[in-house]
Amino acid sequence: MSIIAAPLKDETALGLKEAREPSSRVMRFGADEPLHLDAGATLSPFEIAYETYGELNADKSNAIYVCHALTGDQHVASRHPVTGKPGWWSSIIGPGKPVDTNRFFVVCANVIGSCMGSTGPASIDPASGRPYALDLPVLTIPDMVRAQAMLIDRLGIDQLFAVIGGSMGGMQALQWAVAYPERVFSVLPVATGARHSSQNIAFHEVGRQAVMADPEWRGGRYIEAGTRPHKGLAVARMAAHVTYLSEAALHRKFGRNLQDRDRFGFGFEADFQIESYLRHQGTTFVDRFDANAYLYLTRAMDYFDIAAEHGGRLAEAFRGTQSRFCLVSFSSDWLFPTAESRAVVHALNAVAASVSFVEIATDKGHDAFLLDEPEFFAAMDGFIRSAAKARGLK
């Protein structure tokens, strides 16, 4: 009987590469610059780990801020220090690519609450001298973006040429447009929505319960206990991963194909290729991600609802915006279906904002925003070129 725990490495090694080793540049905000949180508390001091690509021009008008998704990080266009894999959007960002680093200065920071160098639940709480764990206040998407604006201030940038992000990154892009309309010339929210749906909250809750059901979670204090809730986090990742794909893509890639066999094993090993694939997704994830960070970031997504702050009227959130918007959805994405993007487009239309919208036909589901989708790349390239021209960028 092989269960997901079996392939884990030596438990004493714990798998998780500690996030606090500085693999990126880190911006530190001291006691004089607290981050004010929606929960009512302040976070201070705090740190933001970030990467940049390309050069900031003389008038600081060519900066593009990239917001990462739930389990992403700042290594958007450079090798990941833990997995060794290329940056998660290196197909889009780089010299000569749609986000051309020969033209633009690209900034991507690990969101607060995460685990790749920015302050999160695994960071040391100065009040106690031990990891925050659940003593870190619950964070929101607006909190993340507020921290990003402080980073941009430090970098001396008044206005971003563009904010781009997919999924949770798209939520941040929308939040930038709402919270700092004068600071974003253009906004590209991809595969996202203005609020998290009931179904999405439900799947996140399943994942959180899987983590918290693992006795090694220890009320969140696993780091001090020298352990990790690997099994629970792997189950959470597996459940989430199914929602990132489409039924059609699963059928095409795996169907009912069996694993190394031409007949059923009549046991509980991974008989089907899809089972083996999911187990792999679960076991590799725990090596690079912190379980409490997973709780915090899923919670931030669940809380996200732009309209709620504006009496339920989404259009009000965008009133007066001068930014140019380009929304992208993927036809087989059932986590953030096209209707969610359309709702944003309608709200932007209602306030006469400049908005483009494209639904990319694909069977790859929500994951499509991270995959090779030439039509998506072309749409992004076209929008950015046009916006750059309008902004007077060379």
Here the tokens at position 213 are 């059901």
| Contact letters for its own copies, residues 215-234 (x by CB under 8 A) | x---xx----------xx-x
Q: Please tell me which residue in 167, 186, 329, 332 is annotated as part of the active site.
A: 167
**Counting contacts by CB under 8 A, is residue 198 touching its own copies?**
yes
- 3-state SS, residue 368: helix
Alpha-carbon gap, residue 67 to 48, rounded angstroms: 13
36 DSSP β-pair partners: 42
Of 154, 203, 349, 381, which lies in the binding site for its own copies, with binding defined by CB under 8 A? 203
Of 26, 149, 151, 239, which lies in the binding site for its own copies, with binding defined by CB under 8 A? 239
Question: Which amino acid belongs to residue 76?
Answer: V
Q: Which is nearer to its own copies, 203 or 377 (CB)?
A: 203
Query: What angle is formed at CA 362 by the lines to CA 188 and CA 277, rounded to 5 degrees?
Result: 105
Q: Is 333 a catalytic residue?
A: yes
Asked whether 178 and 160 are in contact (CB, 8 A), the reply is no
Q: Which stretch binds its own copies (CB under 8 A): 33-41, 50-58, 176-184, 314-322?
A: 33-41
**Counting contacts by CB under 8 A, is residue 47 touching its own copies?**
no
Q: Which of 342, 136, 97 is nearest to 223 (CA)?
A: 136
Helix axes 230-244, 291-303, angle to 10 degrees: 40
Q: Please tell me which residue in 73, 143, 271, 333 is annotated as part of the active site.
A: 333
Strand 160-166 and strand 184-190: the pairing is parallel
Alpha-carbon gap, residue 1 to 276, rounded angstroms: 14
Here the tokens at position 208 are 């959180």
Q: Which stretch binds its own copies (CB under 8 A): 123-131, 170-178, 206-214, 341-349?
A: 206-214
**Counting contacts by CB under 8 A, is residue 12 touching its own copies?**
no
User: Whole-number minimum distance, CB 334 to its own copies, in Å?
Assistant: 8
Here the tokens at position 140 are 């929101």
**Counting contacts by CB under 8 A, is residue 247 touching its own copies?**
yes
Catalytic center residues: 167, 333, 366
Under the rule (CB under 8 A), what is the footprint of its own copies?
1, 3-5, 38-40, 134, 137-138, 195-199, 201-203, 205-206, 208-210, 212-215, 219-220, 231-232, 234-235, 238-239, 242, 245, 247, 250-251, 253-256, 264, 266-268, 270-272, 274-275, 278-279, 282, 295, 299, 302-303, 305, 308, 334, 337
